[in-house]
Amino acid sequence: MNSSRYRGRFAPSPTGLLHAGSLCTAVGSYLEARARGGEWLLRMENLDPPREVAGAADAILRTLDAYGFEWDGEVVYQSRRHELYRQALEQLIASGHAYPCNCTRKEIAKTARRGLDGYVYPGHCRRRRPEEGGRAWRLRAAPGDTVVADRLQGPYRQNLTADIGDFVLLRADGFWAYQLAVVVDDAEQGVNDVVRGADLLVSTPRQVVVQQALGVATPGYCHLPVLVNAAGEKLSKQTLAPAVAAEDAVAALRLALSRLGHVPPEECGSLAELWQWARAHWSLARVPVGPVLAG
């Protein structure tokens, strides 16, 4: 992290409502920011209209508000920032980091092997020149190991070439890839520390190489444990995790804090008391590293 004031963020995707897992992430990133006297920004990652649920963005904001979160500045919507992503892609093309690709999923599946996050792109279009164009654009994966120093999970190492392959920046369907947008936004918003769910650790080396290719700073990283159900699956829309309700804020916040290793005393009976206690006692040293069972 650089020497300027701490700036963190919470960046939900409005593909569903807040559930116990995303609430934990919000609580952890908020408390880390406040405990360090920093700012906490809110960014709506609504770059994937086919997966977006109507009304979810507003519902997430209402829930956060009902739970007593106080964010700094205006909420940023990725859907209004296409121009920034386009400029970044142009820079990456000009510097030789990005190349066009016309391979279909089917073609890739024929020859590719599976890596850490789907198929490892076999590199078919690597020599394609920018002026030839393509529906998708990929970043050349950096050779060698990319290491992320995570404050909670410890050092995390990935060989991008072997484990991930050249990855997509602009998708063939015309939508921006999360890996590009998140880097552009964190840099543009001056975010110098990222606290989020451990399911995104696998993405972090990709984001670090995009940062290096764009010449922007790498923020600090801290990946919080994910909540899992009895079957060991991450709570998510796909695993039908129920939304957290505004009416249950006190109980749900208490539970979220407990899952993050901070069990509030019985006397804390209101949201204000819970937050006050949590801000005074927050310490990453108490947060469990591994998946937490949401039983």
d(CA 53, CA 209): 31
- Shortest Å distance, C-beta 164 to ligand GLU: 16
Q: Verify binding: residue 101, Zn ion, rule CB under 5 A.
A: yes
| Dihedral angle, C-alpha 58, 78, 13, 48, nearest 10 ° | 110
Tell me whether residue 237 is one of the annotated catalytic residues.
Answer: yes
Strand order in the sheet with 136-139: 98-101, 136-139, 167-170
Q: Which does 182 bind (CB under 5 to 8 A by kind): ligand GLU, Zn ion, none?
A: ligand GLU
Q: Draw the binding track, 143-182, toward ligand GLU (x: CB under 6 A; -: no contact).
A: ---------------------------------------x
Q: Draw the binding track, 10-49, toward ligand GLU (x: CB under 6 A; -: no contact).
A: -xxx-------------------------------x----
Strand ranges (E), 31-117? 39-44, 76-77, 98-101
Name the residue type at position 50.
P
- Shortest Å distance, C-beta 174 to ligand GLU: 19
Q: Which does 101 bind (CB under 5 to 8 A by kind): ligand GLU, Zn ion, none?
A: Zn ion
d(CA 13, CA 23): 13
Give the torsion sign (CA, 215, 219, 222, 224).
negative
* 217 neighbors 34 (Cβ within 8 angstroms): no
**How many residues belong to the chain?**
295
- Shortest Å distance, C-beta 99 to Zn ion: 9
Nearer to ligand GLU among residue 100 and residue 225 (C-beta):
225
Active-site position among 106, 110, 234, 237: 237
Residue 39 β-bridge partners = 7
d(CA 96, CA 34): 40
d(CA 85, CA 95): 15
Q: Draw the binding track, 177-196, toward ligand GLU (x: CB under 6 A; -: no contact).
A: -----x-------------x
* 278 neighbors 265 (Cβ within 8 angstroms): no
Q: Which does 153 bind (CB under 5 to 8 A by kind): Zn ion, ligand GLU, none?
A: none
Exposure pattern of 225-250 as b/e (b: 16+ CB <10 Å)?
bbbbbeeeebbbbeeebebbeeeebb
Q: Verify binding: residue 33, Zn ion, rule CB under 5 A.
A: no
Q: Which of 200, 210, 268, 278 binds ligand GLU (CB under 6 A)?
A: 200
Give the torsion sign (CA, 14, 18, 21, 23).
positive
Q: Which does 168 bind (CB under 5 to 8 A by kind): Zn ion, ligand GLU, none?
A: none
Stretch that binds Zn ion, among 36-44, 98-106, 159-167, 213-221 (CB under 5 A): 98-106
Q: Which does 124 bind (CB under 5 to 8 A by kind): ligand GLU, Zn ion, none?
A: Zn ion
Encoding tokens for residue 249? Answer: 């804020």
Nearer to ligand GLU among residue 64 and residue 101 (C-beta):
64
Stretch that binds ligand GLU, among 7-15, 141-149, 242-250, 252-260 (CB under 6 A): 7-15
d(CA 221, CA 224): 10
Nearer to Zn ion among residue 44 and residue 101 (C-beta):
101
So which residues are the catalytic ones?
237
Q: Which residues bind ligand GLU (CB under 6 A)?
A: 11-13, 45, 182, 196, 200
